[in-house]
Amino acid sequence: MMKKLAMGIDIGGTNTAFGLVDEDGNVVAEGKISTEKFRYYDDYKPYINTLAEAMKEVIASQPECELIGIGVGAPNACIHTGEIETPANLWKFEDPTDPRPDSIRIFKFVEDLGKHFEGVKVMITNDANAAAIGEMVFGNARGMKDFAMITLGTGLGSGIVCNGEMVYGSDGFAGEYGHIAVASRQTGRQCGCGRKGCLEAYVSATGIKRTAFELMATMTCDSELRSIPYDKFEAKMLSDAAKKNDPIALEAFERTGRVLGEALADLTAITSPEAIILFGGLANAGDFIIKPTHRYMEENQLTVFKGKVKLLMSGIQDKNVAILGGAALIWKQYLEAVIENY
Amino acid sequence: MMKKLAMGIDIGGTNTAFGLVDEDGNVVAEGKISTEKFRYYDDYKPYINTLAEAMKEVIASQPECELIGIGVGAPNACIHTGEIETPANLWKFEDPTDPRPDSIRIFKFVEDLGKHFEGVKVMITNDANAAAIGEMVFGNARGMKDFAMITLGTGLGSGIVCNGEMVYGSDGFAGEYGHIAVASRQTGRQCGCGRKGCLEAYVSATGIKRTAFELMATMTCDSELRSIPYDKFEAKMLSDAAKKNDPIALEAFERTGRVLGEALADLTAITSPEAIILFGGLANAGDFIIKPTHRYMEENQLTVFKGKVKLLMSGIQDKNVAILGGAALIWKQYLEAVIENY
């Protein structure tokens, strides 16, 4: 029997990475193309052609294998329609004064890529959902029916699994936990989504940086962080400073953990997950962020949930989670069909 | 063929009502016993015996019918274990200084009632979940795969359905949307759960009453409500006053609608429901509560969700929803099994 492989694709703003993934989550061959080179609206079609060619080369490198499907993780992607809808950092109009409305920027990704791979199943979902499915098929959520994945990157993404199924919602866009209110909608921090008070404005690489700068204003202590301008500041500098007991860095993690912990207690009240899995750049800060998050989550749990919910790090953090997530979309369906026909 | 009926049971603090429900949601026979008479811990066993006897009489009144199961809606009930865990208003210790810990008040309801009905399937879930399933099988959520039910009574209950399945969570207690934070956990209103800032402390019959009393302190206008003491105040008085354009009543609905609308926008971001269905005493205030809730929900939606989510009144509001909900638990399983074996 030919070895079965699923292709996972991760569409990022800089690069599009893809790889062939076996049933155990090993990436047996991979490749990438620049997304940035194709960043404007009119570049979308050439982008698809370039991506398909590059994928075919990688597939050709594995002649003994059968491709069971192509799974894609991308921002603003909808599993129901197969489209990427008005993504913030992809395929914008080259001229910012372009009179066309932003709403026409809907890209039929599944259909367009699928034309290059006839007879092959193509699926797409947003990156956080793909990460959650990757965790369910290959990572720390294996065997779990109810869990949530929180990705802490530039923003805060989430993928929620209930009864063993991804929660996509009626329109395919569910799981936007980064955009619940954790502060007043009138006076909270501005969020990239155009509103105020969203969780992601407080808890994300950008959110903790904003907190650090707020603390430089409210606290009077010395800190090495005071020499870094906002433009040059990266969240990683906070972990480095925290290791040296920098009081502003430590307080920034404490406050970020408080907001996240309270929000995870609320998520528990809504979906009662077996575990909440953290993933991404900010999650790499380890105990600095995990410990206060866990403490505030427990402090704020409704009595019935106290001590029940595991707070875990991703089990596929070190691997290319987005490629694994895309491939897991395909593997999950494939394995379920096998079980059903057994 | 004998007509098939499911028994639905609603365990309230005052009465336990039950009825035989056909496939179309008609209650063909019903009965009730006092719950209050059996309100102490040691009354639980006699309560079960009395309930079983009363149910048997009602069943005997329908000799041409087949009982396909017994479904129960009750506070703090867990579908996985079949137990009612430490309910606030049922089977408390008679002596408040009783040295036994509250945690022993776990009642094996499914097992204990089931002994009286050998071979009959018995299921239990909490009242808001039962209401949601009632809405899905008999009410306004028929055909919906993704929706949420919000019950606005003394407290705020919720039942969330994703991918056509009730979200029970890993421990069976999911759907506590009344206990998410809508104000500071440090300085928000005290909630019956022992914490501060919960949604239900603002949005519920009790919550809107608290808001009205806050407004009597902050506003200086005349209002007929100023003559009513807190102890005698009922939420219904606010609808009556609002009809006469009472400024405090109108502002209380406005503020309650704002908190609820913002919270429903957050619920949308998490689960992206096709509809959110409101049910219960406060929901009876009609447009006074629906209009501001809908306005603030839309104002606070993430762009992708704007204009998508229907805000509906319950379709079984006038019927005995809790009996229908319990029976629907059974009917849903029964009908799914029929389809699967077709």
Q: Do A270 and B175 touch (CB under 8 A)?
A: yes
Contact residues, A window 149-168, toward B, CB-based 8 Å cutoff: 160, 162-163, 165, 167-168
Could you tell me if A262 lies within 8 Å of chain B, comparing CB atoms?
Answer: yes
| Nearest chain A CA: its distance from B168 CA (Å) | 7
**Residue A9 within a domain:** yes
pLDDT in tens, A33-77: 999 999 999 999 999 999 999 999 999 999 989 999 999 999 899
Q: Is the pLDDT of residue B321 over 90?
A: no
pLDDT for the residue numbered B208: 96
Cβ atoms A35, A16 nearer than 8 A: yes
Does pLDDT of A341 surpass 80?
A: no
pTM of the model: 0.93
B177:A271 CB<8 A:
no
Per-residue pLDDT of A95-127, as tens digits, reads 989 999 988 999 999 999 999 999 999 999 998
Judge whether A129 lies within some domain. Answer: yes
Considering chain B, what percentage of its residues have pLDDT values greater than 90? 87
- For residues A148 and A72, membership in a common domain is answered with no
| Shared-domain flag, residues A207 and A266 | yes
Q: Examine residue A215 and state whether it is found in any structural domain, yes or no.
A: yes
pLDDT, tens only, B158-196:
999 999 999 999 999 999 999 999 999 999 999 989 999
Residue B177: its chain A contacts at CB < 8 A?
269-270
Q: Is residue A139 part of a domain?
A: no
Of the partner residues A169, A181, A271, the one whose CB lies closest to the CB of residue B146: A169
Q: Name the pLDDT band for B107 (thresholds 50, 70, 90).
A: very high
Q: What's the complex ipTM?
A: 0.92
Chain A CB contacts of B102 under 8 Å are none
Partner-chain residue, chosen from A165, A180, A273, that has the shortest CB–CB distance to B266: A180
Residue A154: which residues within 8 A CB-CB, separation 6 or more?
Answer: A204, A205, A206, A281
* Predicted local confidence at residue A71, as pLDDT: 97
For residue B42, pLDDT beyond 90: yes
Provide the domain limits for residue B268: 143-313
What's A241's domain CATH number? 3.30.420.40
pLDDT on residue A2: 86
What count of CB pairs under 8 Å joins A to B? 138
- Quick check: B116 pLDDT over 90? yes
Per the CB < 8 Å rule, is B163 touching A167?
A: yes
Shared domain check, A331 and A309: no
Q: Is residue A120 part of a domain?
A: yes
Say whether residue A302 is in contact with chain B using an 8 A CB cutoff. Answer: yes
pLDDT at B272 over 90: yes
B88 and B149, same domain (yes or no): no
Q: Out of B147, B177, B304, name the one closest to residue A270 (CB).
A: B177
Same domain as A28, residue A93: yes
Q: Which pLDDT score is estimated for B105?
A: 94
Contacts of B273 in chain A (CB under 8 A): 169-170
Judge: B181–A266 Cβ closer than 8 Å, yes or no: yes
- Let me know whether B165 and B302 are in one domain: yes
Q: Cβ separation of A302 and B193 shorter than 8 Å?
A: yes
Closest partner CB to B174 (pick from A76, A185, A271): A271
Q: What is the pLDDT of residue A125?
A: 95
Q: Which of A76-85, A191-200, A278-287, A313-322 is least confident?
A: A313-322
Q: Which residue of B has its CA nearest to A270?
A: B175
Q: Please state the rounded mean pLDDT for residues B204-223.
A: 96
pLDDT bucket at A164, cuts 50 / 70 / 90: very high
Q: How many domains does chain A have?
A: 2
Q: What is the pLDDT of residue A102?
A: 87
The pLDDT value recorded for residue A282 is 87
Q: What is the pLDDT of residue A182?
A: 97
* Same-domain pairing of B29 and B77: yes
Residues A295 and A156 in one domain: yes
CA–centroid distance for B284 within its chain: 14
**Helical H runs in A153-286?**
205-218, 235-243, 247-271
> Least CB-CB distance to A180: which of B145, B179, B269?
B269
Residue A53 resides in a domain: yes
Q: What is the mean pLDDT of residues B234-260?
A: 96
Confidence at residue A153, expressed as pLDDT on a 0 to 100 scale:
87
Tell me what pLDDT residue A96 has.
86
| B309 in the same domain as B163 | yes
- B13, pLDDT greater than 90: no
* A190-237 pLDDT, tens digit each: 998 999 999 999 999 999 999 999 999 999 999 999 999 999 999 899
pLDDT of amino acid A284 = 85
The answer on A255 and A107 residing in a single domain is no
- pLDDT at residue B35, rounded to an integer: 94
Are residues A288 and A173 part of one domain?
yes
**Per-residue pLDDT reduced to its tens digit, B123-165:** 999 989 999 999 999 999 999 999 999 999 889 999 999 999 9
| B300 and B161 together in one domain | yes
